[in-house]
């Protein structure tokens, strides 16, 4: 195996491993926003954010909701 082929395989393997690591962390949530909203809505049912929010910190709002800023 030539040196250039070996370098290309190592670099390609690194890029593949990096892509495989980033897909479930970054790209899947970006493409499935509605699914994540539904899960969070179910998980936060019955929780009053103002009661658990630290003093002086703004209560969280949905960054995807237009006109919420």
CB neighbours of 37 closer than 8 A, spacing ≥ 6? 62, 64
Domain holding 33, by residue range, is 22-47
Q: What is the pLDDT of residue 37?
A: 86
Q: Tell me the pLDDT band of 18, cut-offs 50, 70 and 90.
A: very high
Task: Return the CA Rg of the chain.
Answer: 21
Q: Above 80 in pLDDT, residue 23? A: yes
In this prediction, residues 14-26 reach a mean pLDDT of 94
Domain count, the chain: 1
Specify if 40 maps to a domain. Answer: yes
In this prediction, residues 22-32 reach a mean pLDDT of 90
Specify if 52 maps to a domain. Answer: no
Q: Above 60 in pLDDT, residue 69? A: no
CB neighbours of 33 closer than 8 A, spacing ≥ 6? 64
Q: What is the pLDDT of residue 44?
A: 85
Could you tell me the CA-to-CA distances from 27 to 20, 23, 32, 33 in Å, in that order? 10, 5, 9, 10
């Amino acid at each position: 195996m030539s040196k250039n082929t070996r370098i290309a395989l190592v670099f390609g393997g690194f890029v593949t491993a990096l892509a495989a690591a980033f897909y479930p962390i970054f790209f899947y949530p970006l493409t499935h926003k509605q699914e994540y909203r539904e899960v969070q809505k179910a998980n936060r049912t019955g929780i009053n954010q103002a009661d658990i929010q630290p003093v002086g910190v703004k209560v969280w709002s949905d960054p995807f909701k237009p006109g919420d800023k």
